[in-house]
A and B are shown apart, each in its own frame.
Chain A
Amino acid sequence: MADDTILETRGLTKEFKGFVAVKDVSLKVRKGSIHALIGPNGAGKTTCFNLLTHFLTPTRGQIFYKGQEITGSSPSAIAQMGLVRSFQISAVFPHLTVLENVRIALQRKRGHSFDFWRSERVLSELNEEARRLIDAVGLAEFENTVAVELAYGRKRALEIATTLALDPEMMLLDEPTAGMTHADVERISTLVKRVAANRTVLMVEHNLSVVSTLSDRITVLQRGEILAEGDYNTVSKDPRVVEAYLGAGHA
């Protein structure tokens, strides 16, 4: 494996009862890059994320992260190695406050997580760092709001802050800007660009202006298979892509 590859899949395949959702996907993500995974609905993008983080077990194929095979590793072990995913459907802890949501992530590394005899007040030592992360995604005034009460775009921002709290080497973002207002999209894409400065990002994204401005490399998926790969200019001029994806009302 080339030195600058952080994540690689070989022949990754997932079948659901005879239906092939991901088919023979061999993908390389370069360390430090922003890599976009695009394709029409049902192409298998989310399934890919589920395979990479072992929320689903591949039918065939292998996954390597930082040169180490992680195909059989548990989801929590993969996260602990620094490969952290977000979810297409916003994933927050709905009845915890914004501050508590972020602290849950900080708490895992900073310890005490099995301490049932200690007061939760020890967690306040994480507040300062949590506030910094909350501030970074523009939620400073909502730190005591219960997550369920946040508007959709803000929930996604909270999700990103929580993911960032783990300081992951590589983030998998599944449609981070879906359903957001224009202003929120701007804020999130700026944020992604900023946090990607010292980490790798693999993201599923439908907003093509976000894809074109952010990504170094794009992989187009269709019916579970890789259709095309390259930078935005190459991919967007590929006639098969234009037909399969851009042509379908997205251009």
Chain B
Amino acid sequence: MSAVLPTVKSAEVGAQRIVFGVMVAFFLIGPALGMYPVFLMKVMCFALFAAAFNLLIGFVGLLSFGHAMFLGTAGYVCAHAAKVWGFTPELAIVAGAAAAGLLGLIAGLLAIRRQGIYFAMITLALAQMIFFFCLQAPFTGGEDGIQAVPRGKLLGVLDLSDVWNMYGTVLIIFLAGFLLIYRTVHSPFGQVLKAIRENEPRATSLGYNTNRYKLMAFVLSATLSGVAGATNALVFQLAALNSVHWSMSGEVVLMNLVGGLGTIFGPVVGAFVVLAMENYLATLGFWVTIVQGAIFVLCVLAFRRGIIGELGRLIRKPL
């Protein structure tokens, strides 16, 4: 009997390893298959953003409806640091992520004691404040954003204006962030998060100060969203208002619903599907929004578990 658990677990891990391998291979050979490197870099940034968001909704049960504030703030800080302060790209990304983490700490302290819809509302309200701040503040460039951000030289040596250097850097950042989230979910801390999600009063009665754990998860998620936003700003050499707009907070929810909430790979697949739709349906103009809305409704009604969630159920292994 006691041998059952390890084998079940290792079969799960085995399936996840294979999918991980497929994912890495996809991003490695994607450009060779004719996909635009800039598009794939965008996918990786948003996949990291979606995975960071999923850490909260999927593994703690917290629905933040203002996650764009972390993505966007980090983008602005990174762009400003690289362009005005002359930071090297790695330091500009760190600065962006730190700003997002700090904002996450403040937002978390304000929101974490609220439950359900109130939590979502507070995060949304804070995100709106950040949006208006970015619209009005002198250094964010208003409607224009911060443009022509220099990509600079990584560690002072690797020139990121070369698209393949940039591509490799984004791939490494994405994989590191993804693996950190995977590890967090499968860590002693992740185990406590799981317990809180399953039965919060019981976790409290066992002596866990559940708000502290939720806050920690929130700050982690905000910081990683910041890494995604900062990296994205370097890729496009731009920090713009759309990254702090509420529709961006909605888009990350959509990515997770499409890919599968609470799965490991769902956010990546969801980000790819949603961005591919935007990209390839762009000629449809405003129809994109309607098609997206339809997919959203379809996911909620038909495959509630999302693409990866349904796939995992099919092969009876969590992916």
Contact = CB atoms under 8 A, between A and B. Distances in A.
Given A76-B210, A99-B5, A120 B204 contact: no
A93 B199 CA distance: 6
Contacts of A77: 209
Interface stretch (A25-33, A83-91, A233-241): A83-91
Interface string B205-230: 11111100100100010000000000
B183 interface: yes
B1 A115 contact: no
Interface string A89-114: 00111111101100111011000111
Given A112-B188, A120-B186, A122-B188, A162 B198 contact: no
Interface in B185-208: 186-192, 194-195, 198-199, 201-208
A87 B205 contact: yes
B112 to A, nearest CB: 14
B192 to A, nearest CB: 5
A119 B8 CA distance: 17
Interface residues of A, number: 43
A93 B194 contact: yes
Contact of A74 (B4, B192, B209): B209
B128 interface: no
Interface string B1-15: 110110010000000
Interface string A124-150: 000000000000000001011000000
Chain B interface secondary structure, helix, strand, loop or mixed?
helix
Contacts of A75: 204-205
Contacts, number: 112
A166 B207 CA distance: 9
Contact of B198 (A74, A94, A103, A118): A94
B147 interface: no
A80 interface: yes
Contact of A97 (B5, B180, B201): B5
Given A87-B202, A91-B202, A94-B199, A80 B188 contact: no
B169 interface: no
B292 interface: no
A214 interface: no
A104 B195 contact: yes
Given A91-B202, A118-B188, 19 more contacts: A53-B205, A76-B204, A76-B209, A84-B205, A85-B205, A91-B205, A93-B195, A96-B195, A104-B191, A108-B207, A116-B220, A117-B187, A119-B183, A120-B187, A120-B190, A122-B188, A123-B188, A141-B1, A162-B206
Interface of B: 1-2, 4-5, 8, 180, 183-184, 186-192, 194-195, 198-199, 201-210, 213, 216, 220
8 contacts: A53-B205, A75-B204, A94-B198, A95-B194, A107-B188, A114-B216, A116-B216, A144-B2
